[in-house]
Amino acid sequence: MTYFTRPAAVGTITKNVKENAAGGKEKGADLLELRFDLLLNNTPGFEKYLKADFEESALTDQMKIWISEAKETGLPVIGTLRSKDEGGAFEGTEENRFEVIKEIIGDVDFIDIERRSSKKRIFECKKIAEKFNTKIIISSHYFDEKDMPSRKKIEKVLEKSFEKGADIAKVAVMPETKKDVLKLYEAGLRSKTPEKICLIAMGELGKQTRVLAPFYGSILSYGYIDEEAAPGQLSVGRIKKGFQLLGLS
């Protein structure tokens, strides 16, 4: 099953949800991603919820308010509560993180879960997601150039993501050379599931992938609305203009 008929630009929101959701739609975003860990970090008084001790109901209530504000635009919403180990800001336990994630799965259209999460936790989320027709993005991140995976490894990671229940498999890498970027493109070309994968190269070398990766099977491109949420992100507006120039939209 394909969820999009053409490449989609995701507007990542890290603060001021109502304002930036409206701005993202105005700039052409096809989806909105709520980076809950960064939203909490950027909202005075809510930083405490990133730690191990927090009141779950107060946290989920606030997240649901943000989801409601984003959905006022009429755009689909991706929910992401990224752990510190995966480049996010959430410092609580995995048990606490997944307690929160499971509470908001039914409120979002897509939920982002890291591939390194336990099979049990992913399975539990998948069962909840099926009840609400929420789709699961299983993501893998390689932030260090020294950890740049080979083309075969990228292909294997995509395969493993689908085995774990991904509706969309996402791989983000930090290239050291242009050849590293080509590994990402080659993996996309060889994928048996084009239009159900998301391929991103971060940093300066990877900026091109925000527009060009769709030529190689990637269906989502993440851009910023107000400020970068990852190194090398382009603004949603620039991504959409790139799609238009290349006939991808």
**What residues pair up with 170 in beta bridges, in sequence order?**
139, 198
DSSP of 62-78: HHHHHHHHHHTTT--EE
Q: Which residue in the list 135, 170, 183, 196 is annotated as catalytic?
A: 170
Cα distance between residue 181 and residue 176, in whole Å:
8
Cα distance between residue 114 and residue 157, in whole Å:
12
Cα distance between residue 161 and residue 131, in whole Å:
21
Q: 86 near 141, Cβ under 8 Å?
A: yes
Q: Which residue in the list 25, 141, 164, 240 is annotated as catalytic?
A: 141
Say whether 35 counts as a known binding-site residue: yes
Say whether 208 counts as a known binding-site residue: no
Say whether 210 counts as a known binding-site residue: yes
With CA atoms as reference, report the closest residue to 137 among 219, 201, 71: 219
Say whether 33 counts as a known binding-site residue: yes
**Which contiguous run of DSSP H or E holds residue 127?**
helix 119-132
- Identify whether 141 is a catalytic site residue: yes
Cα distance between residue 134 and residue 109, in whole Å:
5
Question: Binding site membership: which residues?
Answer: 33-35, 82, 210, 233
Question: Binding site membership for 3-dehydroquinate: which residues?
Answer: 33-35, 82, 210, 233
* Catalytic residue positions, numbered: 141, 170
